[in-house]
Structure 1
């Protein structure tokens, strides 16, 4: 007891905190050996699903099931979360014959889960089980078993779901992203689709397609590369939006170079009285860094930061100029540099 009869506050046990992280890391590492035929079967089921992948569970496992559902939905696999307790009180009507149900329960014998299994069996909806008990009711009723093996909780009492739910989350991520990669191999989920599903926040802004922010048409500062510097710059005088560069193209419209404010300054500093009457092709920057029309704002930011440039031409698959992204355009969309 401290003076005055007050008890001392216990100090945080940092060694124990490190032990918790070690235990959970070991749980994740142990899953690697369980990735095999059954995991492949589960991935194929989710890939082939023509309805929704319905994830379910209760308690902490239910929270993880909800997160896995969100990951699936955001990476091209339609999904919804169904709480096991709500399911047996009417919400089971959300499940349709073309769905696949992924149920999480480490012990596999939770009352709400086992009651749900019987109803799903009557509905003839296939079940994927994620559990640590291969002899459980959940494991026996499943078409595919994702067995996690024995995992000891990090909780000092060995009771609170900690290492098991961490393992469930990681295994769910592995499953969702494996299915995503399967879709990408056949062109069924592109970066454009990912951007469509993530319109909000800083991530959404970085996924904005450059075609939506680039300058084009009357706002595109462009000129033929066979002009003089003076003639190339004269064409920019009537543009509504000021730019720090002019893009140069050949007769076929292909990008051949860029002439920037910095290029103009160096040219004038050379002391050549006829500098502005020189062919722009002689003083432009050839083969400039550029973007493809299918790139994102995030791609533009990476190039801007790596090479310290402020204007990026945008070209199509044939190398033809279609637009220009100015650093001010990126800032206007709220994309951080």
Structure 2
């Protein structure tokens, strides 16, 4: 009989496995790094926010003087700067122009090589430099003086060469940058940007710049649609469907069919042309569904009475809101005397991307 011997070899020891939901060390490290990164990014935002908020206590008489110079400028507001400040200046110039202030951006290097000819007496200079020592900018100051253009400096050093050569100084103060090295323009450019916006908006308010004027400068895109008036989209003249309240149902159908653009409705008016009702394709379909196919029937019996309407100067956004609330596809347009001067159709709103 064969002998069974017990092995003297030691069994391997098994390590206890961690619970399935316990994160591995690499995952813990990644999670910690993620939180550290988010915390640092939040710190950058906080630093920039504090830099902007710190400007509030610095707005005083010089700011009002700068506002007056830009508001009363007979020529154009020339914005200049280089590097990051120059990029902020380009945006500032664009914002001024978009709100009706004639403005141009002047690159300091190009100015020294002939573009200084863009500046003339009656202009105002907005010069941006956080340090106030930018060589390309400082060397232009005597030329600006000879041309008789007052200089407004936006800077972080009120004792800098730029500030000493300016007529008005808007000082953002010494700002600690939101970067590990303390060098990359971050909080300081945020402050310059915000100060430029504050000046531009204050000028806009002082000039009583209207939304209608703004619309003239923004005919396209979302901004243009936001300030568009009903008069710009409504169907008017031959495209405005009109039928008398004394007409028969058949006449309303003929008008809706033969009006250019074939609108889905017709305005119903009295003898003076005042709006008294509306008749739509939907009204016609409901009549047919109910078996009412007498086209000799008086229109005033089947038209919609007291329809919602708008004036031609109402914003398209407001008219769109009314149409959505009422769940209608057409909206009569009336003048101050209540006369039907147009029809706003949902198809026109869709084409203008306003619905």
The TM-score, its normalising length taken from structure 2, stands at 0.80
- Contact 2:252/2:279 (CA < 8 Å) preserved in 1? no
Larger radius of gyration: 2
Deviation of the 1:153 alpha carbon: 1.2
Change (3 A) 1:319 1:132: farther
Please give the per-residue CA displacement for 1:14-34, whole angstroms capped at 9, x wherever unaligned.
110111111111112222222
* Residue-pair matches, total: 323
- Contact 1:226/1:281 (CA < 8 Å) preserved in 2? no
Who is 1:63 aligned against?
87
1:117 aligns with 2:141: yes
Who is 1:315 aligned against?
334
Equivalent of residue 167 in structure 1, options 174, 183, 191: 191
Equivalent of residue 154 in structure 1, options 163, 167, 178: 178
Rounded to whole Å, the distance in 1 between the matches of 2:206 and 2:338 is 30
Which ranges in structure 2 are unaligned for 5 or more consecutive residues? 1-29
Deviation of the 1:175 alpha carbon: 1.5
1:177 aligns with 2:201: yes
Q: Give the 5 Å matches for 1:77-116.
A: 77-116=101-140
Equivalent of residue 270 in structure 2, options 229, 247, 250: 250
Q: SS at the partner of 1:44?
A: helix
- Contact 1:314/1:321 (CA < 8 Å) preserved in 2? yes
Please give the per-residue CA displacement for 1:41-78, whole angstroms capped at 9, x wherever unaligned.
22221111111100011110000000000011111001
Deviation of the 1:279 alpha carbon: 5.2
Change (3 A) 1:31 1:280: farther
Which ranges in structure 1 are unaligned for 5 or more consecutive residues? 1-7
RMSD over aligned Cα atoms = 2.8
Who is 1:4 aligned against?
none
Change (3 A) 1:21 1:240: same
- Contact 1:268/1:275 (CA < 8 Å) preserved in 2? no
Please give the per-residue CA displacement for 1:264-307, whole angstroms capped at 9, x wherever unaligned.
445556666879725527741414142x3234544444444444
With 252-261 and 269-278 compared, the bigger mean Cα shift is at 269-278
Change (3 A) 1:238 1:19: same
- Contact 1:259/1:285 (CA < 8 Å) preserved in 2? no
Please give the per-residue CA displacement for 1:212-246, whole angstroms capped at 9, x wherever unaligned.
43212222112234545454444334223222222
Who is 2:44 aligned against?
20
Rounded to whole Å, the distance in 2 between the matches of 1:280 and 1:144 is 70
